[in-house]
A = this chain, B = another copy of it.
Amino acid sequence: MIYITRRLYFNATHKLWNDSWTPEENKRIFGPCANENWHGHNYTLDITVAGNINPETGYVIDLKEIKEIAEKHIISKVDHKNLTLDVDFMKGLNPTTEVLAIKFWEILYPLLKRDNACLYEITLYETERQWVSYKGE
């Protein structure tokens, strides 16, 4: 068993907001992250697949496959986008880093299932000082 990671990037906008609360409650809980005119981040996304080495290639999985799947199913949908308004799989959800990481896992897990390998961990950095990891536990 070996773990292989591909890092990707996207830039997006969001606000943290619970629609069932008043604006005042949202501002009290989420502080400046509830700015009604949005704020944004350069996100960094690490996708880790765990598995056994294919003896023919010396690969667990071709990193190009991870990159192409992630670009098609994640990056193209979130990069230069508004995570609340523009992203189908985030509709009705509060776009915290935690919720984003779990949605990315749900999208990528079936797409990265292989005989010898599967998705092991998603790590999503909102800034260099705060990030989230999810392993489907």
Residues of chain B within 8 A (CB-CB) of A56 are 18
Residue with the greatest number of chain B CB neighbours at <10 A, chosen from A42, A81, A128: A42
CB contacts under 8 Å to B, within A32-46, are 32-33, 35, 37-42
User: A39 to B12, Cβ gap below 8 A?
Assistant: yes
Identical chains bound together, number: 6
Main secondary structure of the interface of A (DSSP, over half): mixed
Asked if A72 lies at the interface with its beta carbon under 8 angstroms from chain B, I say no
Q: Are B11 and A81 in contact (CB under 8 A)?
A: no
Contact of A16 with B by CB under 8 A: yes
Q: Top 4 A-B pairs ranked by shortest CB distance?
A: A40-B40, A32-B80, A37-B82, A58-B94
